Structure 1
Amino acid sequence: MTGDRAPANGSSVSTIQAEGNGHVAGDSNGQDSQNTSSKPASKSAASKRPKRPNYAQIHERPLPIVTYPLPAFVPHNPLSLLRVAYLMVSQYFFPPPSHPPKRHVAYLSYDTRSVHVTDWASVRALWEQGFFGKGSLSRSEPTWLDREKNRRGLSGQLLAEDYTQKRRQERRDFKNERARKEREAIEDQLRKEGKLVDEPTVDATAALHSSISSSAPAAGNGNSSAPDSSATAVDQSGLKKLDAQHGQVSQPAADSETLDNEEHLQLALEEAFFLSYGLGVLDIVDPKTNNSVDVQDFFRLCRSLSYFPPADTATLRPDDSFLLKYVVYHHFRSRGWVVRDGVKFSVDFMIYNRGPVFSHAEFAVQIIPSYSHPYWDDKEKPDQNPWWWLYCVSRVQSNVLKTLVLVYVDVPPPLEKGAESERDIGALLKSFKVREFVLKRWVANRMRN
């Protein structure tokens, strides 16, 4: 294992670009038919494809705040200096608004230990401007309402989940067809060698029985051509079930049918605290009192809820899981990365260069507390993970083509009770140190000299 320093900014890191994120590419059958058909047919087929959303325009703002960067200064152009000076003076005396006119409102959930955003305008704003949270009824982006409309036949718009399901089905069909051809090639070779004798298959026997039963007269009445009503009913029900599985409805639904959006945006505690404390665009409401929670109180609540069962505020330690995760979350967010939960890949966070709709996450972040301060020499520390745990995590990341980043967080000693710095969240966060190391799996037959 070798340890390297991870890049500090997103500009020096190469990302794996997604091939259309499944919105246009991935139709292998369609590509084969276009290659064998004529040129006008391929143009007409390409024109029928749904247009991919302009994600660069939808997600043009990386955070739910507005920034006003100064223009570049060109040394050989004196007018650029005048422009920079003019903007600096104008923004100093007349500062433009950076925050939205109305703060977003979210509700704290003690049961799920998360924060819920129910207003749909706030849901779209927080997702489109920074990829915060996830849909409570979706994998990532809150698209339950659109998917439900497609299932009921109220809308024909295809979503990312539809394209993903289509690609997976095509991949399964391709593998089944490849296995069938390989099996047929083996059987042909065995026939040529005389090791395989053709026998009546099950399909041929079933076809023989069906032909005999169709030639026999129908029982009960003399009309053999009368259709079986029970079989017809079963066939129709089977077609309806098949249509429902593919997201299609046999009969068109009424246009007057309306659906209520039952989905909300679910924010993790570190995401909600970053929006509330770091950016100041989110108000947290306590459902017990129906009042807004102060930042200090919300900070203590998050630290208390990071224990199970929730701990008393008097017994909080500087190495609680919320503090460690928020320090790392704030560290990468302040450097322009998009930070998402990494439980899917057995790590703490996944970091994206721009967002999940633009590229795959290249780095997987695992937080490791470090007790290097002399205060912790004679204190009880939580049990560290064994060596095989790190081996398993590293192997998982190499299989999914992610780079594992170990983030060591130096835990400071606890602050004195009643001190002014204890109530200063910024002073507490500054006492933490973050160190990044890129861990690469060492393979003997690939990395030997």
Structure 2
Amino acid sequence: MAVDVEAQAPAEGVEMKPTQPQNQEKPATTAPKKPRQRRPNFNELHAKPLPLDVYPLPAFIPHNPISIVRIAISLLSHTLFPPNSHPVVHRAYFSQHTQSIHVTDAASIRALWEQGFWGKGSLSRSEPQWLSTEKKRRGVQAEKTSAEVTQNRREERRQFKLERARAQREAIEQQLRQEGKLDADSSIEELVEDGQATESPQGTIYTPNAGDVVTVSGDMITSEINKSLAQDAPRWGQDDAAAPQDNHVKDEEHLQLTSEEAFFLTYALGTLAVVPGSDFSTGGSLGEPAPAWYLFRLYALHATSPVSESKLQQLQDVYQQHQSSAVIQTSLKPVAAIEPDNAFILRYVVFHHFRSLGWVVRPGIKFATDYLLYQRGPAFHHAEFAIMIIPSYSHPYWTEAPDHESGIEQRRKELGKKDWWWFHRINRVQASVYKTLTLVYVEVPPPWDVSNSGEEFKVDIGHVLKKYTVREVVIRRWSPNRNRD
């Protein structure tokens, strides 16, 4: 049985509104998408954590007897034909003017940066990129550096926010004109000045009528931004007509190493040879690399400011005498003794400690600290910990000093004493940049450089470093709103 069902007519006074489709298509964007530059593969560039070649043994599998044979063959081959773990020994020179170590060879600069993030470019913020930036500026090289990519992203975000705010204001004005609340020649500023509307910081317009709020949808704002970007979109290749004037750009940048980084590469790894007082860039004599004990005394002497010229000349005379003759003349004056709380020694002890644990240690002067600790390097993650070095004089030598050394004892206590105001400033700075403050206390031993004449001025570095101990104290800011447990 068929039944005809008629549509019911709407009641009088009731206006039927057309239903909107649920799957409403968004307006098509007309702005061309900018091709994003492909980022380099940092896992391949920084595959080596240190400038060394490591030859690990094959994995041992208990249920596979062949793995034991492979390990035995590897041990036998390494014993008969030992591999070279130092294929390249980089060369550098010590600059007394900047009190830093300079590396000028282009291959060594890239190797030291890519294999452990050592040093910084003398004309760059961190990674040596001056040559690439200069070629890009002259039009010789089209690739962008990492610093330029970061700056472009920040500029794009800033422009997008400005365009979004402008498009939102124009969309609100258009909606008000359609509703008859705004004349064709008027603007929102005139309504706000006349008191007819109120604008919130988020851009919402409130009219005097209660509950009358004017907002715009996100699709309308997006369409306005796309139209604006489509009008101002650059045409790719329009600046390619300008030919570079000079294709040859001389690299004027060198790698600048701190004394702690250079000494770790020289003493701990053996991959850096430092020539004192020779300038490679000016064609000076390369000379012979200095031994580790001389560099240890040289860096410790330059850690104090101002540098004593007499002590420096005395150290150089002893070193030249040592190089020219196998027998040290007893008539030479002994070199200046190294204080146990020398700034270079304290910094190097901490640097050696964290580098040996696998951290990438970088200078922390940007955040008012001594060091920054990276898990893999600046190219992968932000620094997680900020290090402050504090000397500790808890040894009985400093607490039970005789009367004639009371002045020295007082000076030691003042060096290792910090007030709460200093601590609060440092902690607030690290909390604002999302880093964990770590106080590293270095136990200062009694004076150990007492016999520094004749052959005894050669420092046994390993024996000296064993006298220092390191204590780490991690500081976290306690907030009653966040930490209630």
Alignment TM class, shorter chain as reference? 0.7 to 0.9
Does structure 1 retain, via aligned residues, the 8 Å contact 2:337–2:450? Answer: no
Instruction: Within 5 Å, give how 1:21-420 maps onto structure 2.
Output: 45=33, 48-100=35-87, 102-177=88-163, 188=188, 191=191, 194-195=194-195, 252-254=242-244, 257-287=247-277, 290-291=286-287, 292-311=289-308, 312=311, 314-377=336-399, 378=401, 379=409, 380-381=411-412, 382-383=414-415, 384-415=417-448, 417-418=450-451
| Amino acid across the alignment from 1:409 | V
Q: Is the alpha carbon distance of 1:441 and 1:89 closer, same or farther for their aligned partners in structure 2, counting shifts above 3 Å?
A: same
| Amino acid across the alignment from 1:430 | K
Q: Report the Cα offset of residue 56 of structure 1.
A: 0.9
Q: Partners in 1 of 2:131 and 2:421 — Cα distance?
A: 43
In angstroms, what is the RMSD of aligned CA positions?
Answer: 2.9
Q: Report the Cα offset of residue 81 of structure 1.
A: 2.1
Q: Is the alpha carbon distance of 1:416 and 1:110 closer, same or farther for their aligned partners in structure 2, counting shifts above 3 Å?
A: closer
Does structure 2 retain, via aligned residues, the 8 Å contact 1:133–1:266? Answer: yes
- Aligned counterpart, 2:224: none
Q: Is the alpha carbon distance of 1:305 and 1:155 closer, same or farther for their aligned partners in structure 2, counting shifts above 3 Å?
A: same
Higher helix share: 1
| Amino acid across the alignment from 1:403 | T
Does structure 2 retain, via aligned residues, the 8 Å contact 1:421–1:427? Answer: no
Q: Partners in 1 of 2:373 and 2:123 — Cα distance?
A: 23
Q: Partners in 2 of 1:257 and 1:55 — Cα distance?
A: 28
Identify unmatched segments of 5+ residues in structure 1. Answer: 1-34, 198-247
Q: Report the Cα offset of residue 123 of structure 1.
A: 0.6
Does structure 2 retain, via aligned residues, the 8 Å contact 1:108–1:116? Answer: yes
**1:440 to 2:440 alignment:** no
User: Taking CA–CA contacts closer than 8 Å with sequence separation of 6 or more, which of the two structures ends up with the larger relative contact order?
Assistant: 1
The secondary structure found in structure 1 opposite 2:448 is: coil
- Aligned counterpart, 2:14: none
Does structure 2 retain, via aligned residues, the 8 Å contact 1:394–1:404? Answer: yes
Q: What per-residue deviation string (whole Å, max 9, x for no partner) do you get for residues 322-357 of structure 1?
A: 101111111111111111111111111111111111
Q: Partners in 2 of 1:295 and 1:193 — Cα distance?
A: 75
The secondary structure found in structure 2 opposite 1:319 is: coil
- Aligned counterpart, 1:214: none
Q: What per-residue deviation string (whole Å, max 9, x for no partner) do you get for residues 19-50 of structure 1?
A: xxxxxxxxxxxxxxxx9758xx99x958x432
Q: Report the Cα offset of residue 173 of structure 1.
A: 2.4
> TM-score with structure 1 length normalisation?
0.73
The secondary structure found in structure 2 opposite 1:327 is: helix
Q: Partners in 2 of 1:195 and 1:68 — Cα distance?
A: 78
Q: Report the Cα offset of residue 176 of structure 1.
A: 3.6
Does structure 2 retain, via aligned residues, the 8 Å contact 1:415–1:422? Answer: no
| Amino acid across the alignment from 1:363 | F
> TM-score with structure 2 length normalisation?
0.68
The secondary structure found in structure 1 opposite 2:472 is: strand
- For the pair shown, the structure with the greater C-alpha radius of gyration is 2
Instruction: Give the total of aligned pairs.
Output: 360
Identity of aligned residues (%): 50
The secondary structure found in structure 2 opposite 1:406 is: strand
